[in-house]
Amino acid sequence: MTAITPASAPLSGTDTVSNPATGEAAGQVRWTDPAEVDKIAAGLRTAQREWEHRGAKGRAKALARFALWLGDNRDEIERLLISETGKSATDAAQEVPLLIMILSYVIKVMEKAVAPETRPASTPVLKVKKITIHYRPRPVVGVIAPWNYPVANAMMDAIGALAAGCAVLLKPSEQTPLTAELLRKGWLDSGAPDVFAVVQGAREVAEAVIDNSDYVQFTGSTATGRKVAERAASRLVPVSLELGGKDPMIVCEDADIDLAAHAAVWGAMFNAGQTCVSVERVYVLEPVYDKFVAAVVRDVEALQVGTGEGKHFGALISEQQLAITERHVKEALAAGARALTGGERSPGPGSFYPPTVLVDVDHSMACMTEETFGPTLPIMKVSSVQEAIRLANDSPYGLSASVFSKDVARAKDIALQLDCGAVNVNDVISNLMCTTAPMGGWKTSGIGARFGGEDGIRKFCRQETVVVPRTNVGAGGNYYHNSLATLARTNRLLTRIVLARPRRTAK
């Protein structure tokens, strides 16, 4: 099987988790022995049977109690989030409300989502049969979550799986393990059964999760996503992957420039740029380029960077992530780009990088073609909408995009020429809140989708077709015990019925 990350020493024992903004201890984590994962998964399989048998109404009650727990304990969750990630209070405040919104929606639709469906007969002869499709949960869903949103990304997929009747085996990022433990405690404290387990570790534990799951939901880099898919494929286990992105924004000459600038700055800098659907590159039509750049610089210069209260965004998660941002900026500057704000690492402790606006950029630069996942905003001048579309599509990624124009019909036409899973018109990131619609990537940005209304629950199920007789008349017409003459008459009758239907339709 394929290892999902480069070889490294297995994590073992207990470690201290440190705040990347301050270096202070955030808490202690006990790493899971990979050999324990199969036993944990076996326990989930046993508990899952009763969870499935509760039915959608019974599971909805448990999910509703968990939603109440999230609301009651929001302050504690956000304090831990800030301590574990170095986020600003503004960024940390987004995650719990998003989960409660998802839970509220899922609770309303889950019964319908997993209800059996009847299907019509394809021919009159088969009307003697009743055809029903049942949605049966996959026993254990493995969720491998990233570090950028330790609460939201851990649970937004787990909620759909739990609603479907699955048990969930969660492996959070080894960089942000603490909030996952608090969420599991909240699940149990709210009175829910033991169908949600957390395992802690790096590559070896992730591999064990894949090897013991019946479905794998992974959020992370494209390179790691490929290895997750390869390992799952060896067992023919389905996967859903939300992977990297290099999301473009197109600003037309008739756009509301202040709105577009506000959106670009928030979309690029929110969570220090560590968001899968963040604005990573902007293409601006020449007539409004200078005005747009000036408005962006104005907004960026007003931002306050730091952890906790009163700041717009906080630290990057690690020195490794900061190094990627530094490399992209330095290479761009060396190739002729200009930094209108920021441009080099912030002085002092912590993995902070200032909000950096880059101009005079092009597609020879990594800042325009590789995922940065940092607080940068490269802006490129274009001469036409068609050039903007071509450049936006000139990427191996295809997660989401945005288009700004006062002519909404025109913006929608542009949106439908972009090669990505979602496009926001005159807004950014808002598709992430649209839980009735699928959120998935094209090209190397992923396989499958999260959310999607009822489909976001059904994806964790297997379809089972049950065919029962309405009557025994006609049963066994093709069985071996019949005479050849009987079989011949049956086949002639079926042929006449099937061929007669198109002729009637044609009239």
Alpha-carbon distance values, 214 to 44, 140, 205, 308, 365 (Å): 12, 5, 16, 39, 41
Of 370, 401, 406, which Cα lies nearest the Cα of 388?
401
Of 316, 317, 319, 314, which Cα lies nearest the Cα of 304?
314
Residue 461 annotated among the catalytic residues of the structure: no
Would you give the DSSP letter of residue 196?
E
Catalytic residue among 166, 276, 367, 420: 276
Residue 276 annotated among the catalytic residues of the structure: yes
Catalytic residue among 78, 242, 280, 370: 242
Residue length of the chain: 507
SS (H, E, C) 348-384: CCCCCCCCEEEECCCCCCHHHHCCCCCCEEEEEEECC
CA 20 to chain centre: 24
**Per-residue tokens: 496:** 């006449």
Of 251, 81, 202, 54, which Cα lies nearest the Cα of 150?
81
| Interior angle at CA 155, CA 153 and CA 159, nearest 5 | 135
Residue 234, number of CB atoms within 10 A of its CB: 11
Gyration radius (Cα) of the chain, Å: 26
Residues 6+ positions from 350 with CB-CB distance below 8 Å? 20, 21, 22, 23, 86, 307, 315
DSSP string, 201-229: -SHHHHHHHHHT-SEEEEES-HHHHHHHH
Q: Which residues are catalytic?
A: 242, 276
